[in-house]
């Protein structure tokens, strides 16, 4: 069974950061496509978690929402709802 984390330690990235991490969402970084949108391969620095040059640092997956996908938008809203409530509970 997976471990349930007591707190979420998440880093928030700007769209510009994600563009830098994925080489501007170029086709050669595509890992897959689904109902939610396209998944890209990106890279972040191992220590700072800031976007870094392709092929260096830690490889990460970046999902880019397909704005025409109702399924993807609903999943995104649900995930944000869960994360918001989790953050509220851990702060109190």
What pairs with residue 44 in β-bridges? 51, 58
- Are 23 and 29 in contact by the 8 Å Cβ rule? The answer is yes
pLDDT of 84 above 90: no
Long-range contacts of 1-9 (CB under 8 A, 24+ apart): 6/90, 7/90, 8/83, 8/86, 8/87, 8/90
pLDDT digits (tens, 9 = 90+) for 39-79: 999 999 998 889 998 889 999 999 888 777 666 666 667 77
Could you tell me which residues are annotated as the binding site? 64
pLDDT of 87 above 60: no
Could you tell me which residues are annotated as the binding site for ATP? 64
pLDDT of amino acid 92: 47
Options 3.20.20.20, 3.30.200.20, 2.30.30.60, 2.60.120.560; which CATH number does 15-91 get?
Answer: 3.30.200.20
pLDDT digits (tens, 9 = 90+) for 5-46: 456 667 888 899 999 999 999 999 999 998 778 999 999 999
């Amino acid at each position: 069974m997976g471990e349930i984390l007591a707190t979420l330690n998440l880093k928030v990235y700007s769209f510009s950061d994600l563009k830098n991490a994925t080489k501007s969402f170029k086709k050669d970084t595509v890992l897959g496509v689904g109902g939610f949108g396209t998944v890209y391969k990106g890279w972040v620095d191992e220590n700072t978690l800031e976007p870094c040059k392709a092929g260096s640092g830690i490889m990460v997956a970046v999902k880019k929402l397909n704005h025409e996908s109702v399924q993807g938008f609903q999943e995104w809203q649900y995930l944000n709802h869960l994360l918001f409530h989790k953050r509220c509970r851990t702060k109190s």
